[in-house]
Amino acid sequence: MMIKWICKEYKDLSTNELYSILRVRQEVFIIEQNCNYLDTDNYDQYSHHLLGYESDKVVAYMRIVKSGKIYSNVSFGRILVKKEFRKRGLGIELMKKGLDLFPPTQVIVMSAQLYLESFYHIFGFKSVGEMYLEDEIPHIKMIRNG
């Protein structure tokens, strides 16, 4: 499986790219996880969007929000691999691609779904504080201190 990776700022996304991003996020976070929430939260405009394509379909995605918007540091979020592409190492590849965009000293924050906590530990993220509910799904704040 050959994945083509592209990272773009919001202003550089084509209409079709933005549509693909919003569609895949809805498929995973709203339909698959049966979670009603407003995905378009006004942070996309302050983000880089890392997309993994197989052919012309987005199969992996991460939103990288600039510091000072959600947290005082850069944050990773909306991290996903489409269901039919999981268990192939794409999540690891996606995280590595995201981390490669920053120097190793860069502090990165995320609000991670609790069931993925040990996965993010692999990349140097540490859990901070207690579990909390975000859109009725257990989450934990995680920080990579570089």
pLDDT attached to residue 36: 85
Structurally, how many domains does the chain consist of?
A: 1
Domain harbouring 108, CATH code: 3.40.630.30
Provide the mean pLDDT of the chain. 95
**In this predicted model, what pLDDT tens digit does every residue of 35-55 receive, in sequence order?**
888 899 999 999 999 999 999
Q: What is the pTM of this model?
A: 0.95
Residues in contact with 100: Cβ distance below 8 Å, sequence separation at least 6, in sequence order: none
Average pLDDT over residues 5-23: 97
| Structural domain for 121, as ranges | 4-144
Chain segment 87-121, per-residue pLDDT in tens: 999 999 999 999 999 999 999 999 999 999 999 99
Q: Does residue 61 carry a pLDDT above 80?
A: yes
